Chains A and B, each alone.
Chain A
């Protein structure tokens, strides 16, 4: 299974192409080495034979046939010329001197190079020795053969040939095995990723790609994919949570409306009852529609569709308008709403969204803060970063709830009966994310201080 995949994989195909190209080049180099080595060895042996031939020919010219015969006898006796063959024959090819039995039958040419096998086989040798010789025919018809046993050379070049062929074969085999192993490893890692992907498609997002702990590039890929899966799982969880909440928060008013209408449908028409029923139903419908538009608004902000509307805006202007808008509500609640800090804090952003976010925060602070307490909105620049903070002196948020309060529809137990739909802080979080702003929840001892750290405006 894995082998079949390995052989089909693109890595393996690439490896084959590489092996092919590499193999051709290596074969060419080795062939060149073989050919030039054997040519060199041949050439040396031929030069030695030629030198010997020239000195014998000189002897023939100087001292005639007998002088040459004497020299040949001397050479045969000399151990340093062992391996050389000599033969001097008369025109009828009868041997006059030399260490060959008879003139070789293949050496018919008058002069030049010849190769032939010796007539007798030395004891212990596999073949009769291969000889290479230079032929000469003197003017009177006598003929001279000077040569040497080249069997050793032949064996030497044969050995080189075998070494070269074996070397090439070995390289091919090793490269093939290596590429299968490497490909198999790659395919194995990819397969484990594939297997996890399939498992996720079939059964759910809880599977993760196994790591080998090698910290190599494959582990890094797997780590990143796993992180991505974590994020997707979290988001899916949130989506599920949200849809459960949506279902709950929408079903409640819808059920009320349905019940009311059903009761009216079956009951007698009474003007006063009908009117209050219709009024209540419209109010409930409006609540449903508000939840609906808040959700789409948050979704749209999260889709980052509005970066085009970013301008340089003064946080102080926006917060002042919010404070002015909520001043009456604070007054009604007996809360003192004040604004402090710098007169200009510039950020790059969308005025409407920032207004909405800060309005939500101020609204929360007034609603969830202490009745008759104080809400302070502050604009400042801390370490060069624009910051707006909203502080109340109410009960605050328990530490373990801090990470949940930005979830859609999340409501603290203590504020279950305060009006609101649990979407305010989700919207604040979405607006903050769009603006690259960080939300910090601090203990105002007592109460909650929420800080929005905006990004330093560019340009």
Chain B
């Protein structure tokens, strides 16, 4: 993440939620602006250049979706994370179709929110051009869809490779189980079992088993993080 572009606009009308959001984002090193109404969001949105904008669906004056459309019409390209208590799938699809980049259902954990904001923020400032990604001694070839550690090939099923690729692309950032389901399996619901953990467990055995150091780390209560030591 490049410095100087860690400014976030939070659009949220509930004072307590807004306070918690601002606190946790500030603690993570972001510079946070808060808008409590749709109109305020519109004026702030065009006035500054934000890395990420989070918008609540239910605002006192204008609907969050309308705010987002208006911002897009005004040429604001910053990624938008829609935050809503309206969690059902149709609603989610409507939000994404209207120009949202990600969708988070209330109630959510702040770690999950941070993970998603991180992922969105990176999307806006880094474009990966290489076809081979490296983390420590792990290399994954996006063209041949193969992975290796210390030059030794790792046998992966297609979905396992996708999962590893997603972790590598988010190197150093926490990735939640829901994000994995969404990006690797295109599933927008929680199968409410430990199925993801078991799956990641197998990938981890293939990637980290009998290696000098582990790359895939469990982050308690949220998900996983892939990073090289040091």
Contact = CB atoms under 8 A, between A and B. Distances in A.
A324 B187 contact: no
B88 A325 contact: no
A248 interface: no
A294 B192 CA distance: 9
A419 B197 CA distance: 15
Contact of B193 (A297, A327, A352, A363): A363
Interface string A274-315: 000001001100000110011011001000011011000000
A223 interface: no
B185 A290 contact: no
Contacts of A305: 90
B127 interface: no
Contacts, number: 64
A352 B189 contact: yes
B217 interface: no
A359 interface: yes
Nearest to A359: B191
Nearest to A331: B202
Contacts of A172: none
B88 A296 contact: yes
Contact of A300 (B88, B109, B192): B88
A326 B191 CA distance: 11
Nearest to A424: B192
B198 A329 contact: yes
A328 B67 CA distance: 43
B1 to A, nearest CB: 27
A321 interface: yes
A316 to B, nearest CB: 16
Contacts of B105: 293
Contact of B221 (A279, A306, A355): A279
A142 interface: no
Contacts of A289: 107
B159 interface: yes
A325 B193 contact: no
B190 A290 contact: yes
Among A293, A305, A309, A421, the most chain B Cβ lie within 10 Å of the Cβ of A293
B189 A328 contact: no
A356 interface: yes
B107 A325 contact: no
A371 to B, nearest CB: 15
A297 B107 CA distance: 16
A332 interface: yes
Interface in B58-95: 87-90, 93
B190 A293 contact: yes
A146 to B, nearest CB: 105
B213 interface: no
Given A289-B107, A297-B88, A324-B157, A329 B189 contact: no
A360 B187 CA distance: 14
A331 B187 CA distance: 22
A282 B107 CA distance: 12
Which of B159, B191, B220 counts the most A-chain CB atoms under 10 A from its CB? Answer: B191
Contacts of A297: 88, 189
Interface string A320-345: 01001111110110000000000000
Interface string B100-112: 0000010101000
Given A290-B190, A356-B191, A363-B191, A325 B87 contact: no
Interface in A399-419: 419
B194 to A, nearest CB: 8
A352 B187 contact: yes
Interface in B193-230: 193-195, 198-199, 201-202, 220-221
B195 A326 contact: yes
B198 A290 contact: no
B185 A325 contact: yes
Interface string B162-195: 0000000000000000000000010111111111
A421 B192 contact: yes
A352 B199 contact: no
A328 B201 contact: yes
A290 to B, nearest CB: 5
Contact of B195 (A279, A282, A329): A329
Contacts of B188: 352
Given A359-B191, A363-B193, A328 B88 contact: no
A306 B187 contact: no
B97 to A, nearest CB: 12
Interface of B: 87-90, 93, 105, 107, 109, 157, 159, 185, 187-195, 198-199, 201-202, 220-221
19 contacts: A279-B220, A282-B109, A290-B192, A293-B87, A293-B105, A294-B192, A305-B90, A306-B90, A309-B90, A309-B93, A325-B195, A325-B199, A327-B202, A328-B201, A332-B198, A352-B89, A356-B191, A363-B193, A363-B195
